[in-house]
Amino acid sequence: MPDYKLKSFRSQVYHLLGNARDAVFELADAAILTQNPSSLAELSLSPVFRRRWHSVYEALEDCHPSRDKLMEVYINQIGKNQRPLLVGDHSAWLRPDAVTLQERTYEHTPGRIGVNKPIGVGFGYSTLAYIPEENGSWALSLFNERINSYDTAISKLSEQLRKVCSHLEPRAIVVVDSQYGCASFLKQTLDIPCVQLMRLSSNRCFYGEPIGYDGRGRPRLHGDKFKLNDQQTWRTEDLKVEVEHSKLGKLQIIAWHQLHFRQLAHQKLSVIRVQQLDSPKSKPLWLGWHGEQIPNLIEIVDLYL
């Protein structure tokens, strides 16, 4: 980004911070420049934060910026000549010992030690980020909001997408993990101008189009069952390619079109299976594509990765 654009962007953000904007702006710079801070107070030691430690807490208490206006400033930085790639995610901040903390919820926490179930108590957060580079690790956050006890991860991300995608042209591609690869997420985002690329759990079940109608009764909504973990239910694939991928080695990519969730019979999507041929014992990656005609299969894999 050229210097003049960066200065303009910082100026716009600064003027939207409201009360205590000077302290909050310096605090943001300190957060960017401090690697792995162990506490909030540690940010006050940064050279760019020219105030005492208690100003950190006072600034956060007094500052009430407009989230929507800040989001519009962020979106204006997205190039107009490229198709936006967005990523949605749900993360947890566990607070098991904070028994007086209100609105704690049960959160999924994979990788916990021992035989305990992979759950914890704390806060859940929904993040919607923009990916500016095809090959890189940058993820620029547009929204990062706590999921209230009366919300779900799916409803919160759908709300965030509705606010963001209305400002984007062309239509964005939204990439989400298997938590969102379900009929509920698809149903809540049908009216949003975006394309959904979803990871699918291997136990998901889909249905093809019904065949034939004898003219009596209500027409069938569902055809043959298509269960991802039961190869006996798979019909002949619509697309199949084998390619050499720069990161994953030799891949077999198979796609089936015109499938649907049982709860959304009229919303067709494509189901894609990605198998690493160099590691035949590895589990396949299942993806779902909805919103427009499916592009090149290799492109879909790269978009998800």
- Encoded tokens for 281: 């014992």
Check if the beta carbon of residue 94 is closer than 8 Å to that of residue 58. no
Cβ atoms of 205 and 228 closer than 8 Å: yes
pLDDT confidence of residue 115? 57
CA atoms of 45 and 221, how far apart (whole Å): 63
d(CA 159, CA 188): 9
Strands (E), 25-160: 85-94, 105-108, 119-130, 140-147
**Residue ranges in the chain whose pLDDT is less than 70:** 1, 111-116
Question: Angle 172-174-175 (CA atoms, 0-180°, nearest 5)?
Answer: 150
pLDDT at 262: 94
Question: How high is the pLDDT of residue 174?
Answer: 96
Domains of the chain, by residue range, sit at: 3-65, 70-182, 200-304
| Separation CA 182–CA 174 (nearest Å) | 14
Distance CA 146, CA 142 (A): 14
**CA 275 to chain CA mean position, Å:** 23
Q: At what angle do helices 153-165 and 67-75 cross, to 10 degrees?
A: 60
- State residue 212's pLDDT score: 76
pLDDT at res. 47: 92
The pTM assigned to this predicted structure is 0.87
Please report, in angstroms and rounded to a whole number, the separation of the first and last CA atoms in the chain.
25
| Residue 112: per-residue pLDDT | 57
The chain-wide mean pLDDT, for the chain, equals 89
Burial of residue 198, with CB atoms counted within 10 A of its CB: 0-12 exposed, 13-18 middle, 19 or more buried = buried
Q: What is the pLDDT of residue 264?
A: 93
Query: What whole-number distance in Å separates Cα of residue 225 and Cα of residue 219?
Result: 17
